[in-house]
Structure formats: C-alpha cells, structure tokens
Copies of this chain bind each other. A is one copy, B any other.
Amino acid sequence: MTAAMREANAGEGLTERQGAVLEQALRLLVDGGEKALTTAGIARAANCSKESLYKWFGDRDGLISAMIGFQASKVRTQDVAARALDAESLERHLIVFAKDLLEVLAGDVSLALNRLAIGQASRDGSKLGHMLQERGRRQIGRRAAALLEAGRKAGLLAFDDADEAYGALYGLIVSDWHLKMLLGEEAGEMKKGFGRKAEQAVSAFLSLYGTKR
C-alpha cells in the first residue's frame, strides 16, 4: 500500500495517520474544551511533532477546520428509501428521525465542536460556524426535507412552505434542549427522556401538518 493509495481514505484528503491525529485532537477538545486544544497538547497526545501538525494543517485554524471536516465525514446520514409510505410508517420514520436528531445534538463531539465554533464566531467571521452548518446541519436537514416531501406526495402531510414545516418540526423536537446542553447542563440525565420527547414532538407536528387529524 503506497502513500498515494492511503490518501483520500477518510473521505477527505487525509492520511490515516492524519486522521488518527485529528481523532486525538477531538478527544482533547471533548475532554477539556477549547483551552485544552493546544498544538503542544495535540502533538503529545498523538505522538507526533508540532512541525508535522503545521506541515499538514497549516496553522491552528486549519487544524480545527480539518477536525470539523473529519468529524462530518464520519457521520453520514443514510437517506431512508421511503417508498410505500402510509400514516403509520410516516409517524415511525418521523419518530426515528426525532430520536436521531436528539442523539446527534447531545453527542460529546457535536457539543464540543459547536461550543468551539460558537466561541470563535466573533473573531473569525463565523467561518467555522458556516462550516459546521454546511457539513453537519444540512445533512440531517435534507433527510428531514425528503421525509416531509414524501409525506406530502403520499397525501399524509399538508404544507405550503417546506422550510416552515421543517422549522416547526425542529423546534418541537429540540425546543431549548440544545442550548441548555451547550451551556453545560448535564446531558446524562436528559437522554432518558429523548424517546418520550420525540414521540410528543412528532405527535404535535402531525396535529399541525397531518391530513389525518
């Protein structure tokens, strides 16, 4: 296996070695926050030299960008082939989507990266924010949009503006939980309520946009 072959394995233009380094960097970030994300610390944790870090990623910002891209490349949302959609299966799919959304938002790495991007939003012109939005949010948003569109095509949902409907769905599912978790609320206690929360949100959403009720 040549170096050229090893390239572009992780969906980015990254060596597996570089991926391992980014993995360690993410771990540092999750454990200690932005303050723990120092070049020396990463080099120590990943058993590599600072010089290599700068050679591979340019500077600290490049490394952080690479971390976001690397993490996004690991979380691919599979579009559910939603054929033969009836009222019950739509509700089931929506509930699964809701649970997945809550699980993703409550994830260690997701929270840490969002905290990092939010903390830097003032100084870097929200470059990281846009990146996180584009590579994380958009994915799950498309999955929901496809689901809603399928529901409408099947005559199970009625809405004019798909974005508005998605906004309502998202708000009913997430409410202020995401912010509370970003602010440091212990996520362990909350996760138990995700199932019930998801069902309630989907029920409310179907009351608003379903044709059945």
Contacts and interface: CB of A to CB of B under 8 A. Distances in A.
Interface string A102-145: 00000000001011111111110110011011000100000000
A34 B122 contact: yes
Chain copies in the assembled complex: 2
Contacts of A62: none
A119 to B, nearest CB: 3
Main secondary structure, interface of A, reads helix
Contacts of A126: 183-185
Given A122-B115, A123-B35, A129 B170 contact: no
A184 B173 CA distance: 23
Interface of A: 32-36, 112, 114-123, 125-126, 129-130, 132-133, 137, 164, 167-168, 170-176, 178-180, 182-185, 200-201, 204, 207-208
